[in-house]
Amino acid sequence: MRIPFIAGNWKMHKTVREAVETATALKTVVAAVEIVDIVLCPPFTALGDVGRAIAGSNLELGAQDMHWEPQGAYTGEISGPMLWELGCTYVILGHSERRHHFHETDDEVARKVQAAFAQELLPILCVGETLEERDAGRTEDVIERQVRAAVAELDAVALPRLVVAYEPVWAIGTGRSATGGEANRVSALIRQWLGQAVGGPSADETRVLYGGSVTPENIAEFIGQPEIDGALVGGASLNSEAFAAIVLAAAGGP
Ligand code: 13P
């Protein structure tokens, strides 16, 4: 069984104080939730304090990116061991904002995925097509390429621990989400490509999330799909009440 997974990507939002306040408020509201993996991904600057604020709770900590080298002369970068030290369990990799604003390539994303596993950090690998690619009928080609490249060096043992987020770029921060059916279809393909690329049935255990304008109002449409195991939430995760409502919906109520 794949355990539902809800992650909040706070992107470049919140001071340390604001981040701790939101995490602390959230912790109380979702304290009784048992069967959902709930992950907060604050900015690097707030990881340590948010980690302390949620210690002992059912919330887990994730980072938004990392470098593939464990250390070195890479001014401004953050490595896997540094995230591990701060208590991170997960790390978002290959987010479209990193691919587009910072020109991250499939090859770099693949190196980061391997480096994360080497550090016992679990990647939340993001894939998704732009509006232009979608309009050109290239959605499947683009996502297949992104998926296969990212897992090319992984073995079947890693797949159940990998989380993939299907985030159509045109749905991110636009208020225009994909339909549940569309996201379900792509999620099934992602699992199929993972299985083909790595071999064996272990992709059946890989959690595939939907991301892109997820809200308390539309989460049911995604979580109700057989191939979708949860959501990677941006804007709505900044507000503890909205994010808690999404978590509670994933838990099956209220
Ligand atoms: P929004 O939920 O704000 O559309 O962001 C989605 C996202 O990019 C999560 O990683």
222 C-alpha to center of ligand 1: Å?
A: 14
Beta bridge partners, 212, equal none
128 lines ligand 1 (CB under 6 A): no
- Nearest partner of 74 among 110, 117, 106, 108, judged by Cα: 108
Please state, in angstroms and rounded to a whole number, the distance separating the CA atoms of residues 116 and 163. 12
Q: Which pLDDT tens digits describe the chain residue by residue (254 residues)?
A: 899 999 999 999 999 999 999 999 999 999 999 999 999 999 999 999 999 999 999 999 999 999 999 999 999 999 999 999 999 999 999 999 999 999 999 999 999 999 999 999 999 999 999 999 999 999 999 999 999 999 999 999 999 999 999 999 999 999 999 999 999 999 999 999 999 999 877 899 999 999 999 999 999 999 999 999 999 999 999 999 999 999 999 998 65
pLDDT in tens, 184-197: 999 999 999 999 99
Q: How many residues does the chain have?
A: 254
Give residue for tokens 């991250």.
104
Q: Which amino acid is at 10?
A: W
Atom of ligand 1 nearest to the CA of 171: 4
Q: What is the pLDDT of residue 253?
A: 67
Q: Is the pTM of this model over 0.85?
A: yes
Tell me the best of 96, 126, 218, 232 to mutate to test the pocket of ligand 1, counting ligand atoms within 8 Å of each CB and taking the most: 232
Check if 13 is active-site: no
Using a 10 angstrom Cβ sphere, with 0-12 exposed, 13-18 middle and 19 or more buried, the burial of residue 28 is exposed
Q: Which two tokens stand for residue 166?
A: 């299907």
pLDDT in tens, 109-142: 999 999 999 999 999 999 999 999 999 999 999 9
Q: Which amino acid is at 225?
A: Q
Domains of the chain in start order, with CATH, are 5-250 (3.20.20.70)
- Nearest partner of 114 among 73, 165, 77, 80, judged by Cα: 80
Q: What is the pLDDT of residue 231?
A: 98
